[in-house]
Amino acid sequence: MHSREGMGKTLATLREAAAGCRACDLYKRGTQTVFGEGRLHAKVMLVGEQPGHEEDLAGRPFVGPAGKLLDRALAAAGIDRGDVYVTNVVKHFKWEPRGKRRIHAKPNQTEIAACLPWLQAELDVVKPEAVVCLGATAAQALLGSRFRVTKERGQWVKAPWAERVLATVHPSAVLRAPDDEARHREFDLFVADLARVRTALAA
């Protein structure tokens, strides 16, 4: 068992090592490695797909529009963002140019496989009681390529590396809803999934 100080050092060491990662070509495209962050003994680890434009510039996960929506959803579900650890399956921003903008591009299987050891190391150190996969990339990377968020969202499943795993949508999917009504509906469903996490951990 690591001491709290030892765990801190381990996370810091991991972060430092990941900053120089060249295990796939995405380091050439992103500004920097965006490692996870949060409490050392976080009960909940939230795992997204990859950093976006703002995360890439800030070097921190979930600080852009999707991160702000995630903050609101966590608050609505009664979970303090300060009590969770947030990270992504892939630690560099993959993007394609569109005019002057950098548009999100989906990471491929090779990039996901190359980056997965960082997430496994984060899981080993933080040892969360519950892992929440935000979107299909995280769910399939952690639960297998046959996992379908559309069919199995909001349900607890077991995994060797966490007692409880639950998949839901990525907050960017809520933002992409076609109109206000759909966005409110998707937000409420997202909050309901997160509320199941809070309830399970309080039990």
Interface positions with ligand SF4 (CB under 6 A)? 18, 21-24, 26-27, 33, 90-92, 111, 114-115, 118
Closest CA to 87 of 47, 39, 51: 47
3-state secondary structure of 131: strand
In the chain, alpha helices (H): 4-19, 53-58, 65-76, 109-126, 136-143, 149-152, 171-175, 180-202
CB of 113 to ligand SF4, least distance (A): 9
CB of 40 within 8 A of CB of 104?
A: no
Closer residue to ligand SF4, CB minimum distance, 110 or 145:
110
Q: Which is nearer to ligand SF4, 94 or 196 (CB)?
A: 94
Q: Could you tell me whether strands 156-159 and 162-168 are parallel, antiparallel, or unpaired per DSSP bridges?
A: antiparallel
Query: Is 33 or 168 the residue whose CB approaches ligand SF4 more closely?
Result: 33
What's the closest the beta carbon of residue 36 comes to ligand SF4, in angstroms?
11
Q: Which is nearer to ligand SF4, 24 or 84 (CB)?
A: 24
List the Cα angle 118/173/110 in 5-degree steps.
35
Nearest approach, Cβ of residue 13 and ligand SF4 (Å): 15
In the complex, the smallest distance separating the C-beta of residue 134 from ligand SF4, rounded to whole angstroms, is: 17
